[in-house]
Structure 1
Amino acid sequence: MKTYRRIVFGILIALIPIGLASKYYQGPLEFWVNNSFSSIFYEMFWMFLVVLILPRLSPGWVAFWVFVVTSALEFMQLWKPPFLQAIRETLIGRLVLGTTFVWGDFLYYVLGCAIGWLVLRTLKAKWVNS
C-alpha cells in the first residue's frame, strides 16, 4: 500500500503543472485546450487526491463520485449569487468552481474519470492486490 500511495502522490504532483499548463496554454487549438481538454486533468487531479487520502476506495467508486461532484459544480456555474461570484473572481475560485456552464465539458469529465479509473485500477492491481 505504501508504494501505491507514493505513486499516486507522484502522479498527483505531476498533474498540477500539467493541468495549469493546459489551462494557460497558448498556441494552436488554444481555446479548446484551455477550456475543454484541461478538464481531463481536473477530473484526474480530484480522483488522485481522493485516493491519496482514502487509498482503500475502489477506483470505480472514486471515478463515479468525482464525476458526480464535478458535474454538480458545473451546474452551479448557472447560479450567480454574489458570494459565489466573489469566489469565482479569485484564481483558485476560477480553477475549482469554474465560471461558465458548458454542456460539452461533461464529455471531458467522463474522459478524465475514465483515464483516471484505468490508471488507478492498474496501479492498485499491481501494487495492492498482488
Structure 2
Amino acid sequence: MAKKRYWLFIGWVAVIIVGLLSRKYPFLLPAFLGKYPGDALWAMMVYLACSFIRPAAATGRLAASALAISYLDELSQLYQAPWINTIRATTAGHLVLGSAFSWYDMLAYTIGIVLVAVVMERVKGIEPSS
C-alpha cells in the first residue's frame, strides 16, 4: 500500500505542476480549449487525492467522491459573500475555490475524472501481483 501511495503522490504532484503550467502558458494548448484543461487537471488532482486517502477503494467510488468534491466546490462559487471573496482573491484561494460558477467547468471536471479513472483502471491491470 505504501508503494501505491508513493506513486499516487508523485502523480498528484505531477498533475498540479501540469495544471499550473497550463494556466501560466495557455498558448501551448489550442486556444479553443480555453482554461478548461486546467479545470480537468484540477479534478484529476482531486481524484488522485481521494485515491491516496483510500487506495483500496473501487474506481467508481473514487470517481463519485472526486466528482462530488469537484461539483460542490463549483457550486460553492454561487455563494459570493465578502469574506469568502477575500479568500478567493488570493492566489491559493482562487486555485482551490475558483471564482465564478460555470457549467462548462463541471463538464471539464467530469471529463478529467473520467480520463484519470480510465487510466487508473488500466494501470491496475498491469500492476505486478504481490
Q: If the length of structure 1 is used for normalisation, what is the TM-score?
A: 0.86
CA distance in 1 between counterparts of 2:67 and 2:52 reads 17
Q: Which runs of 5+ in 2 are unaligned?
A: none
The structure with higher relative contact order (CA 8 Å, sep 6+) is 1
Report how many residues are paired.
129
CA RMSD of aligned residues (A): 2.1
Q: CA deviation at 1:89?
A: 0.9
- Residue 11 of structure 2 corresponds to which residue in structure 1? 11
Q: CA deviation at 1:128?
A: 7.4
- Residue 85 of structure 2 corresponds to which residue in structure 1? 85
- Residue 121 of structure 1 corresponds to which residue in structure 2? 121
The percent of aligned pairs where both chains have the same amino acid is 28
Query: Closer, same or farther in 2 for the Cα pair 1:76/1:105, shift >3 Å?
Result: same
Q: CA deviation at 1:91?
A: 0.8
Q: Is residue 53 of structure 1 aligned with residue 50 of structure 2? A: no
Q: State the one-letter code of the partner of 1:103.
A: W
CA distance in 1 between counterparts of 2:62 and 2:128 reads 16
Q: State the one-letter code of the partner of 2:71.
A: S
Query: Closer, same or farther in 2 for the Cα pair 1:82/1:128, shift >3 Å?
Result: farther
Q: Which runs of 5+ in 1 are unaligned?
A: none
Q: Is residue 111 of structure 1 aligned with residue 111 of structure 2? A: yes
Q: CA deviation at 1:53?
A: 2.2
Task: Kindly provide the CA deviation profile for residues 19-64 of structure 1, in whole angstroms up to 9, marking residues without a partner as x.
Answer: 101122242645844x212111101111111211221111211111
Task: Kindly provide the CA deviation profile for residues 53-87 of structure 1, in whole angstroms up to 9, marking residues without a partner as x.
Answer: 22111121111111112111111111101221111
